[in-house]
Amino acid sequence: MLSIKLVPRPQPSKSMVYLSPLLAIGLMLVFGLIVFMFLGQNPVTAFHAFFIEPVNDLYGLGELLIKASPLALIALGLAVGFRANIWNIGAEGQLILGTIAAGGVALWFYESDSVFVLPLMFIAGALGGMAWAAIPAFLRTRFNTNEILVSLMLVYVAGMVLSWLIHGPWRDPDGFGFPQSRMFSDSALLPLIIEGTRAHAGIFITLLALIVTTIFFRWGLLAFQMRVAGLAPKAAGYAGFNSQYTVWIGLLAGGAAAGLAGASEAAGPFGQLDMAASVTGYGFAAIIVAFVGRLHPVGILFASLLMALLYLGGESAQVNLALPSAVSKVFQGLLLFFLLATDVLIHFRLQFGSSNAAARKAGAL
């Protein structure tokens, strides 16, 4: 009989670092088709509806961009902390706080036509996300709490804050009792950049963040110090690197990016505050994007496009195949599962052999 064993590699495989995400994507597609078969769908028809139909026109490409933009932006911020082993799992809450802060500015200047409203919204969004990320940063550096648990639990608190605001003080007085704020004025909305689509200027913020992050990772001394602190904390301490400073930078970078993404969502697709801002799931999906992209800006860019396509595919499957839109979560889960599985091959290799030969060898010993 054929036996398969995992054998440790003498050195981690550099090629598998980049091949494992591709393997994970391939396995996700194969097993996704199997899932469609179990759901009683024709695999070819389902594949077309899920991966081709959403982007077969200009409007679909625009939707791909506006979904990929916040995913990439948040993932870039998270990558700063992840490289230093600072695990910010609460970007979803920081996105919500960014949306709230930006929405508060838009509502405060509701009757203003000033060109400064939009910049103020993005500044407020970044500060809101950073303030929410500062809570786990303070608790980690002051009381050595686990930033994973604290940042994750704060997601639900952020959702409740948003719910209280739109059910209470910020509810639209002319909204017939629906839990939503009034629509923002034109001065608080991002301009569209592609006619006939909803693609807006928030995409440029993501592109700018992509350039800045690339420069930071490649030439930034602080990025090097954070990387060393993540890989070898004792060596970093011996070299005089401040570990608490690393924690603050890692968490605040993720919070700022998530807050900017929240402001972009508020001033873009939403145009008001409602509970839809708390159910996008972008903050959680961006974690997958960051790791599929290998914490590298270029990889994150392509991974965000893939994840955005999964979101659109779920919506298309709901319309064209009468499947729940949550099927996109299945693909996201498959992608994460296979990425974790194939990452094993970075440090181990598969060894094929005969179990009978192994038994004879054991008997001879």
Q: Which of 43-47, 142-146, 233-237 has the highest mean pLDDT?
A: 142-146
Lowest mean pLDDT among 37-41, 59-63, 198-202, 229-233: 229-233
> Token pair of 131, please?
């303030």
Q: What pLDDT does 1 receive?
A: 67
* pLDDT tier, 362 (very low <50, low <70, confident <90, very high otherwise): very low
Instruction: Please state, rounded to an integer, the average pLDDT across all residues of the chain.
Output: 91
Work out the average pLDDT over 107-112. Answer: 92
Question: pLDDT tens, 282-335?
Answer: 999 999 999 999 999 999 999 999 999 999 999 999 888 888 878 889 999 999
Higher pLDDT: 357 or 248? It is: 248
Work out the average pLDDT over 135-147. Answer: 96
Work out the average pLDDT over 257-268. Answer: 96
Question: pLDDT tens, 332-349?
Answer: 999 999 999 999 999 888
> Token pair of 127, please?
């500060």
Q: What pLDDT does 177 receive?
A: 82
> In this structure, which topology does domain 42-322 adopt according to CATH?
ABC transporter involved in vitamin B12 uptake, BtuC (1.10.3470)
Question: pLDDT tens, 27-83?
Answer: 999 999 999 998 889 989 999 999 999 999 999 999 999 999 999 999 999 999 999
> Token pair of 363, please?
């008997």
Is residue 360 scored above 90 in pLDDT?
no
Is residue 186 scored above 50 in pLDDT?
yes
Separation between Cα atoms, residue 318 and residue 298, nearest integer Å: 31
**Straight-line distance from the first to the last Cα atom of the chain, in angstroms, rounded to the nearest whole number:** 20
Lowest mean pLDDT among 36-45, 129-138, 273-282: 273-282
Work out the average pLDDT over 133-147. Answer: 96
Cβ atoms < 10 Å from Cβ of 141: 17
> Token pair of 191, please?
């301009």
Q: What pLDDT does 356 receive?
A: 59
Lowest mean pLDDT among 28-32, 240-244, 247-251, 344-348: 240-244
Q: What pLDDT does 359 receive?
A: 52
Please give the backbone phi and psi of residue 8, each rounded to the nearest 5 degrees, phi first: -60, 140
Is residue 171 scored above 90 in pLDDT?
yes
* pLDDT tier, 228 (very low <50, low <70, confident <90, very high otherwise): confident
Count CA atoms within 13 Å of residue 344 on its CB side: 10
Work out the average pLDDT over 93-98. Answer: 97
Q: What pLDDT does 336 receive?
A: 93
Count CA atoms within 13 Å of residue 254 on its CB side: 39
How large a percentage of the chain has pLDDT more than 70? 96
Q: Where do the structural domains in the chain lie, given as residue ranges?
A: 42-322
Q: Are 341 and 347 in contact (CB under 8 A)?
A: no
